[in-house]
Amino acid sequence: IQLPPTNYPLAHLRHLIAQYTQLQPDAFKLIHAGAVMKDDNAPISAYHLKQNSIISIIPHSPLSEPQPTHKFQSPLPLTEQSVISLIHAELTKVRSDVTPDVEAFLDSHGRDQAIHQHKEHTRLGELLLQSLIRLDGITTDGEWDQARRERKAAVREVQALLDRLDGCW
């Protein structure tokens, strides 16, 4: 979902998410960086959201049936090539969105304030762990050797980046 201008109220973002998920706007909580975003009248900027921020959507009550995730489930049967495409998409996202931030963090380690470093280290570690979880959620058919190799290589690359991040800490 495209983030609305930051001067818009949180209610606007909640409405967009409700449309996207086909849930009622009051049927879920929004969580960003561990904080519940409660005040729908507050501007989006009050929650320090930016494009590509990760927002968790937690239903107020259990859903009656599992909702499909738009990234990894498809109404069509998966093929080995479609699974490989999912793996490549996740790895491309890590390479473009997270790796530059990790590299900048590693280069600046020791120069910034400790509190900022701790927050940034935590944020980057969480993003990498989320990517590993998404890669783990991609299932491959027993006969899809190429897809398994691609997933294994992607997991190793993301894990190596996480190890580098944790190694400097």
Angstrom distance (rounded) from CA 53 to CA 96: 14
Domain carrying residue 32: 10-59
Q: String of b and e for 106-128 (b: at least 16 CB within 10 Å)?
A: eeeeeeeeeeebeebbeebeebb
Residues 118 and 159 in one domain: yes
Q: Please indicate, yes or no, if residue 156 is contained in any of the structural domains.
A: yes
pTM given for the model: 0.51
Q: Which tens digit of pLDDT belongs to each residue from 16-67?
A: 888 888 888 888 888 888 788 888 888 888 888 888 888 888 887 654 444 5
Is the domain of 14 the same as that of 50?
A: yes
Bridge-partner residues for 59, per DSSP? 28
Q: What is the CATH number of the domain that holds 121?
A: 1.20.58.120
68 within some domain: no
Instruction: Look at the chain and report how many structural domains it folds into.
Output: 2
Highest mean pLDDT: which of 51-55, 107-111, 121-125? 121-125
Residue 118 placed within a domain: yes
